[in-house]
Amino acid sequence: MELAKNEEINALLGFYQPLLTHKQQEYMQLYYGDDYSLGEIAENFAVSRQAVYDNIRRTEQTLRDYEAKLRLHRQFLARNEVADQLASYVVKHYPEDKQLLQMIHRLDHLEEE
């Protein structure tokens, strides 16, 4: 369960991190990105462990609220699924079409750019 939650929050951060305050970004990066404990973050910011915990939980809910309203992550996953289906179809039915295969290859590597 914890791994699934971490993956969910990291995915949402990829889309909505710029919408968070600087402090929220820092806490989330340390907690989810750098695997700091609540106590380590609290020590770094000279606040209580409870303050860090509350901030992270509120930020998690904020990220979920953004996704519920904007659906950027869900749409991204849906588009990727369709792109994967399209790529499979092209490779199966048009294996000799070099230009089409190049476009599929570019589509597969857009995220790396």
pLDDT at 107: 83
7 and 62 in one domain? yes
Work out how many domains the chain is built from and give that number. 2
Residues 58 and 79 in one domain: no
Q: Do 94 and 47 fall into the same domain?
A: no
Verify that 55 and 15 share a domain, yes or no: yes
% the chain with pLDDT above 90: 87
- 49 and 82, same domain (yes or no): no
In 10 A of CB 32, how many CB atoms? 19
- Model's pTM, two decimal places? 0.83
Give the model's pLDDT for residue 1: 57
Q: Identify how many contiguous H helices and E strands the chain contains and give both numbers.
A: 6, 0
Claim to verify: residue 81 and residue 56 sit in the same structural domain:
no
95 and 65 in a common domain? no
pLDDT at 113: 57
**Proportion of the chain above pLDDT 70, given as a percent:** 96
CATH classification at residue 20? 1.10.10.10
pLDDT of 38-80, one tens digit each?
999 999 999 999 999 999 999 999 999 999 999 999 999 999 9
Confidence grade of residue 2 (pLDDT, cut at 50, 70, 90): confident
Q: Please check whether residues 79 and 54 belong to one and the same domain.
A: no
Verify that 63 and 106 share a domain, yes or no.
no
Is the domain of 18 the same as that of 35?
A: yes
Q: Which domain holds residue 81?
A: 74-112
> Would you say the C-alpha torsion 39, 41, 44, 50 has a positive or negative sign?
negative
Q: Which residue type sits at 1?
A: M
- 95 vs 26: CA distance, rounded Å: 47
| In a shared domain, residues 79 and 55 | no
